[in-house]
Amino acid sequence: MYIIAHGSLILALLTTIAGAGFACIEAWSGQDRTTPWLERAHLVSVLLMVLASSMLLRALVAHDFSLAYVAKFTDLSLPLTYTIAAFWAGQEGSLLFWALCMGLAVALFLYSRSYRELAPRTRQHFWLFYLPVQAFFLMLITYMSNPFAQTMVAPPDGQGLNPLLRNIGMALHPPLLFVGYALFTIPACLALASAFSGERKPWVEVTRNWLLPAWSLLTAGILLGGWWAYMELGWGGYWAWDPVENASLIPWFAATALVHTALLQRRFGVLPRTNVFLACLTLLLCIFATYLVRSGVVESLHAFGSGTVGRPLLLSILFGLALTLSVVTAIPRGDTPPLPELGSRQGAIVVCVWLLVALGAIVLLGTIWPVISQMWETKPVGLTQGFYNSVCLPLFTLLALLLAVAPWFGWRGGMERRWLTAIPVVVWLVALAVGLALGVRPVLAVAGVGAAAAVAATVIAQVILAPQVARTRGFWASHGSHLAFACIVMGVAVSGPFQKTLEVSLAPGEKVAFEGYEFRFDRLREFSTPEMKVQEAVVEVTRDGRSLGELKPQQRLYRNFDHPNSEVGILFSLGNELYSTIHDLNGDRAEPLKISINPMVNWVWIGSLGICLLPLLALRPRRANNVDANRN
């Protein structure tokens, strides 16, 4: 049966390659007659991918262990949610998922008014650039990373999903990232197509409703990964600047820069070449993220052996970069307006973009540092968290400060009420002075909290001073997102440096006092599910004699995995969140019970929710009365 699934993918690849070949021939001869055929070819290839994906999903749900992929990532006891999530648990499935999302998104785009309003030549060029991308992904999943490889003998049960991945955060984190990655294909290909055909309709306007969801999904995927690390790994933190984490953060910087420069082009027609470059760079960095994770190039942390897809991914990135640079440098300057002045909101956005580019470059270089340092080191090692924290966190703080100040500038320069600009500056200086006077250290944390407060002050002042503007969706899409970003900055600035941790060996009935709280290990509960055996420590928490609730950290022994995993116990709070794990159990004694007090950590997640959802308010329905620029 899986021959049909694999055959579907091969057929989809053939169809896509044929379409891409025709698109090249047509573009070479300056024709655009085959566009309807290219569209049909795409729809056929998407249907074939849907068929193959359905068969993989069916195999997962039916526990068909004759398929190596199913045997590797599921077992009979795995709950249905995680069984379905196993679709993207491995390399083969995740690449298929990416290709499928990309194909479906482009099929939707094909039926959109935005697409139909493009000039015929631009539509033809869109397929010229898009179909090779799809062909590349189909090549990977048909010949290099085949999800339909079968086992010699079907085992009676599978190996099961890694326990660390059995968390709703991890079930959703990869698909969000992959859908985000997939959606960035549309802006990138349309940017190239528009540059190629001289499309009069600005592509940044056409792809607005694709770029913003792509950005939101990528952001959600990254932040959900952080939340998973916090909830599942039990070390009390959420970001370790590890290559896998950095891999998705690098395209995020480019995408965030693009969201802002696209805004400038839409409103003022500036930076057209920069936008084409950033759109393509974002897509290439998404592929680079997969390359980092899959190739084992960063040996010190991800030496999983030589990846089957590493080399083709690297070649595709280099090829894409060469193609992008060729197109961008070939775009004539034309009558592009000059760059905005620094003392304007446009200028502030450009500075923000440069900060984002700098952050992206630092994280990129830091991540591949072990590879670069191989040139002079015999045993290259990755950079520590300390490096990233000391370089990136000040830049993030600066970014937040800029977000506080920028809204007071006029779009084309000047300030209507100059004294109002002092509001965020005063708020920041006061926060800094008070913090320092109270002896709060580190200074960077104080500066971060001050910057977050300054952004909040700016948004509140804007709401008061311009209530009509504040009632628009656009205001909350931009300023609301900035406020959400400030929440994250504040959460990070406080929860990291001011975290308090205690490790103590406790038996039932014993108690320990820590930072004004009293923790009493009440009892050890044991229970089983078909999936696992659980030992749960019930720890009562009181403060000043008042009960605050119970912490319930667990040790779980999953079926098919012979080492116990820690599950954190949490007492939620917007102030001090109490967080606990059991490292080991000796009889019924927790050895040790680890307790952390994480101040304001939930502001990171509140801000995360806001920053993912609020930009979607800027989505615009395509109205029928939109002027078709290509016909006028």
Partner 1 sequence: MTGIKDNSLRKMIIAMLGLGVLAIFVTAFISGANAPQAKERGTAQRQDTSLDDSVAPLMAKLKDNPNDKEAVSNLAHIFTKSDNWEKAAPFWTKLVMMEPENIGSRYHYGFVLSQLNRFPEAMEQYEAILKTNPKELAAHYYMGMINKYGFKNLEVAKQHFQQALSGTLDDPALEAETKKELASMN
C-beta neighbour count of 18 within 10 angstroms: 16
Q: Which of 74, 83, 114, 142 touches partner 1 by CB under 8 A?
A: 142
Q: In the structure encoding, which two tokens stand for residue 520, read together?
A: 């009493």
Exactly one of 8, 38, 99, 174 binds partner 1 (CB under 8 A); which one? 174
| Candidate list 47, 50, 84, 331; residue touching partner 1; CB under 8 A | 331
Q: How far apart are the first and last CA of the chain?
A: 53
For the CA atoms of the chain, what is the radius of gyration? 26
DSSP 375: G
DSSP one-letter code for 74: -
DSSP structural state of residue 336:
P
Report if residue 170 touches partner 1, rule: CB under 8 A. Answer: yes
Taking CB under 8 A as the rule, does residue 491 contact partner 1?
no
Q: Give yes or no for residue 262 binding partner 1 (CB under 8 A).
A: no
CB 19 within 8 A of CB 127: yes
Among 63, 266, 473, 583, binds partner 1 (CB under 8 A): 583
Structure tokens, 507: 């038996």
Which listed residue (155, 380, 435, 508) binds partner 1 by CB under 8 A?
A: 155
- d(CA 269, CA 492) in angstroms, rounded, equals 36
Candidate list 318, 322, 361, 433; residue touching partner 1; CB under 8 A:
322
Looking at the DSSP assignment, which residues form a beta bridge with residue 523?
A: 538
Least Å from the CB of residue 315 to partner 1 = 8
Continuous segment of H or E residues that includes residue 513: strand 511-514
As a whole number of angstroms, the distance between CA 360 and CA 339 comes to 22
312 is a site residue for partner 1 (CB under 8 A): yes
Task: Judge whether 570 and 579 are in contact, CB under 8 Å.
Answer: yes
- CB-CB contact of 47 with 77 (8 Å): no
The reply on whether position 371 binds partner 1 by CB under 8 A is no
Closest distance of CB 45 from partner 1, Å: 14
Stretch of 135-143, 425-433, 532-540, 572-580 lying at the interface with partner 1 (CB under 8 A): 135-143
Chain positions 46 to 75 lying near partner 1, rule: CB under 8 A, are 68, 71-73
Instruction: Examine residue 592 and say whether the peptide bond preceding it is cis (omega within 30 degrees of 0).
Output: yes
Does the protein bind partner 1 through residue 229 (CB under 8 A)? yes
Per CB under 8 A, the list member of 175, 180, 187, 243 interacting with partner 1 is 243
**Residue 436 identity:** L
Among 307, 360, 370, 607, binds partner 1 (CB under 8 A): 307
332 touches partner 1 by CB under 8 A: yes
CB 577 within 8 A of CB 598: yes
From the list 21-29, 348-356, 410-418, 468-476, the region that binds partner 1 by CB under 8 A is 21-29
CA pair distance 212, 620, nearest whole angstrom: 10
CB of 210 to partner 1, least distance (A): 18
- Residue 595 binding partner 1, by CB under 8 A: no
Q: Least distance to partner 1 from the beta carbon of 333, Å?
A: 8
In whole angstroms, the minimum distance from the beta carbon of 196 to partner 1 comes to 6
Task: Spell out, one character per residue from 451 to 490, where the chain touches partner 1: x when CB under 8 A holds, - when not.
Answer: ----------------------------------------
Size of the site for partner 1 (CB under 8 A): 94
CB of 150 to partner 1, least distance (A): 5
- Name which of 425 and 585 has its Cβ closer to partner 1: 585
The contacts of residue 509 (CB under 8 Å, 6+ apart) are 520, 521, 522
- Of 135 and 524, nearer to partner 1 (C-beta) is 135
If one asks whether residue 268 binds partner 1 (CB under 8 A), the answer comes out as no
288 makes contact with partner 1 (CB under 8 A): no
245 is an interface residue for partner 1 by CB under 8 A: yes
Check residue 544 for interaction with partner 1 (CB under 8 A): no
Contact between 37 and partner 1 per CB under 8 A: no
Q: Is 379 in the site for partner 1 (CB under 8 A)?
A: no
**Segment 73-102, which members bind partner 1 (CB under 8 A)?**
73, 88-91, 94
Q: Minimum Å distance from CB 17 to partner 1? A: 5
Tell me if 27 contacts partner 1 by CB under 8 A.
Answer: yes
Residue 334 within binding range of partner 1, rule CB under 8 A: yes
Stretch that binds partner 1, among 324-332, 366-374, 437-445, 529-537 (CB under 8 A): 324-332
Q: Select from 42, 123, 208, 302 the one that contacts partner 1 (CB under 8 A).
A: 302
Contact at 8 Å (CB) between 41 and 124?
Answer: no
CA distances from 375 to 243, 303, 372 (A): 20, 18, 6
What angle (nearest 5°) sits at the alpha carbon of residue 444, between those of residues 443 and 449?
Answer: 100
3-state secondary structure of 592: strand
Distances in Å between the alpha carbon of 516 and those of 487, 519, 541, 545, 575? 27, 10, 11, 10, 14
Sign of the four-CA dihedral 74, 76, 79, 83? positive
Strand, coil or helix: 186: helix
Shortest Å distance, C-beta 435 to partner 1: 27
Closest distance to partner 1 from the beta carbon of 56 (Å)? 15
Determine if 370 is a binding residue for partner 1 (CB under 8 A).
Answer: no
Smallest gap from Cβ 28 to partner 1, in A, equals 5
Structure tokens of 160?
């099961």
- Does 561 bind partner 1 (CB under 8 A)? Our answer is yes
User: 235-241 long-range contacts, Cβ below 8 Å, gap at least 24?
Assistant: 236/499, 236/501, 236/579, 236/594, 236/596, 236/598, 237/496, 237/499, 238/601, 238/604, 240/385, 241/363, 241/366, 241/383, 241/385, 241/387, 241/388, 241/389
C-alpha angle 493-496-499 in degrees, rounded to nearest 5: 125
170 or 490: CB nearest partner 1: 170
Least distance to partner 1 from the beta carbon of 272, Å? Answer: 5
Q: Binding to partner 1 by residue 330, rule CB under 8 A?
A: yes
